[in-house]
Chains A and B, each alone.
Chain A
Amino acid sequence: MRRTLVVVALALAGADLVPLVLVVKQAVTPERESFAWPPTWLPGTLTAENFRAVTAAVELGRGFALSATVAALTVAATLALVLPAAWLAARRPRADRRLDTVLTAARLLPAIALAVPLATIFVALGLYNHPAGIGLWLTHTLVALPFAFFPLRAAFRAVPLELEEAALLDGASPIGAFVRVTLPLVRPALGAAALLVFLVSWDEFAYALLLQVTHRPLPPLLYYLAAFGHPGLASAVATIMLAPAVAVVILLEPALRGGVLAGSGR
């Protein structure tokens, strides 16, 4: 049993890591070598050529800033909306049924089909292809809601109601009880939700492609480079995209550790 689990874990890790290693390798190898036959696992020559070329070819800095801004705003907006909603859902069964239905239904709609009407609305509002990605931010927030809602609702359900009641009797306001008692206890889930939402926005492609036609965030930039026959440059962008994702995971890792709830009761 134990051994099977280890094998499965290694297989999954391998399936994830092999493409990552290959893309990073391709990013730091001259293009000629990347397509050499037979293929090599390790780069023969290291070069920064792809990174230099990609900065010259496209507005990489702007794309990076746009992606980062949209992702950060999406995390902020999603959590601001989901925290009260998930708490309400965990505490009030009637609110829960409604929110559950709405958020599950929202996930069922295909992005491509929604992008067109959204684009129409954003054109009217002046948010289409916005240089700061406001339209895209709103869309990403909509897309990310369920990703934050479900883990946070589960976490709020795990916090005993009596802890909030104790805080009320100890003199806290309802908001005070939430901030001082409930919120610290869902910290791991909050970290996980923030991470998920960041990643949802950071590598979201369909809306980014259709709503930001000239002010492009990183995923469409990468797509155009790959589509127009620059695999080396596309790999360089992919590598650049990996860096913040890894950074966010490392940054949030301490918050993801569980066990905060132990010891409240008997």
Chain B
Amino acid sequence: MARASFIRVEKRFGDVVALAAFSLEVADGEMIAILGPSGCGKSTLLRLTAGLEPLSGGEILVDGRRIDDVAPAARDVAMVFQSYALYPHLTVARNIEFPLRMRGVAAAERRARVAEVAALFELTELLERRPAELSGGQRQRVALARAVVRRPRLFLLDEPLSNLDARLRASVRRYIRDLQRRLRVTTLYVTHDQTEAMTLGDRVVVLDRGRIQQVGTPLEVYERPANTFVAGFVGSPAMNLLPAEWAEGSLRVGALRVAPPPDVAARLGATRRPLVVGVRAEAFGAGDGALVAVPVPETRELLGGETVFRARIEAAEVTVRLPGVVRELPARVGVPASALHLFDAADGSRLGP
């Protein structure tokens, strides 16, 4: 149980910057989801925190004490690897017991702690088996049990669900959430799956190409994406991004006039500039709004609870999601001003609230 601080942490491999100026304060017992595509630096961040790679710059502190110059064994950080990394020659009991044994915990206490976490993870029946005799879900639980048995100060999870099939994934996700709440271990959870990040994280850190794009609660990241990358990465389907232009006090998407949010209009002034208008698929409704378009329908997916259309508005391909069963895309769709997101086309950054 600990606070963690990352102060301008940096990692370079030769000329390649894997992680740049990563600064983050993690509260005691908080679960942070690190979200990003592969190669964004999220696994690097875990490896730096665990001490498996040296930092190129910056500092990592736990409870105010630097840990980035300490050997991995001395950091009291536990990690669940994507591949689980169970010791294949040891039984489940010996796997779970391994960190305790390495720390010189007495045999009687070791047995008690193993029995305790085995019960917690429903592994009691499997203690004498070897990893090869377990299913994927069971191995996953052994990996978690081994990580929490010694009550680490910091808990690192590297895409722990990516090897499970879809159904198991949802249940293990809930399980991890409950577990983390119950144990109150400060946790960094790395994933490329935005559903995992949104459901598990107290806060989400979106990373791309080694740089933080946004830090916020799942809702903040969803409702107010800081830039076009976050807008396109978080949410399923991705936010529709329509090329637009601000000129002479009016906003246009192609030939379409869009009523901009009033404070944005004031801020943009008279300068002519290219913008991007973002619209969530579910923000469309039949009829009026700040943006009203006549979409050209392309495909339709009836999902029962909702209907997803692919359509064309001006030059852009958009996704429109309407509740319930809708046979045909309305002739006119509209988006309210409050659901419009504006971004600067030059650097992708968010404009306005």
Contacts and interface: CB of A to CB of B under 8 A. Distances in A.
Contact of B87 (A173, A176, A264): A264
B77 interface: yes
A162 B87 CA distance: 10
Nearest to B72: A168
Interface in B75-133: 75, 77-79, 81, 83-89, 98-99, 102-103, 130-133
B163 interface: yes
Contact of B102 (A170, A184, A263, A264): A170
A143 B202 CA distance: 61
Nearest to A159: B88
Given A171-B73, A263-B139, A166 B85 contact: yes
Interface residues of B, number: 32
A42 interface: no
A181 B87 contact: yes
Contacts of B83: 160, 162, 264-266
B50 interface: yes
Contacts of B89: 184-185, 260
A156 B43 CA distance: 24
A172 B136 contact: no
Nearest to B50: A169
A188 to B, nearest CB: 11
Contacts of B130: 263
Contacts of A185: 88-89
B52 A168 contact: yes
A266 B132 CA distance: 9
Contacts, number: 86
A200 B194 CA distance: 58
A163 interface: yes
B134 interface: yes
Nearest to B149: A170
A235 to B, nearest CB: 44
Interface residues of A, number: 24
Contact of B133 (A163, A181, A263): A263
Nearest to B73: A171
A160 B87 CA distance: 10
* Residue among A168, A180, A261 having the largest count of chain B Cβ atoms under 10 Å: A168
Contact of A261 (B71, B88, B136): B88
Interface in A215-266: 260-266
Given A171-B99, A171-B103, A263-B139, A165 B85 contact: yes
A109 to B, nearest CB: 38
Interface string B255-266: 000000000000
Contacts of A260: 88-89
A181 B86 CA distance: 10
A250 to B, nearest CB: 23
A166 B81 contact: yes
B341 interface: no
B146 interface: yes
Interface of A: 160, 162-163, 165-173, 176, 180-181, 184-185, 260-266
Given A185-B89, A260-B88, 5 more contacts: A165-B85, A170-B146, A171-B73, A262-B132, A266-B139
Interface of B: 50-52, 71-73, 75, 77-79, 81, 83-89, 98-99, 102-103, 130-134, 136, 139, 146, 150, 163
Q: Pick the 6 closest A-B CB pairs, nearest first.
A: A263-B132, A263-B131, A171-B102, A266-B163, A170-B99, A166-B85
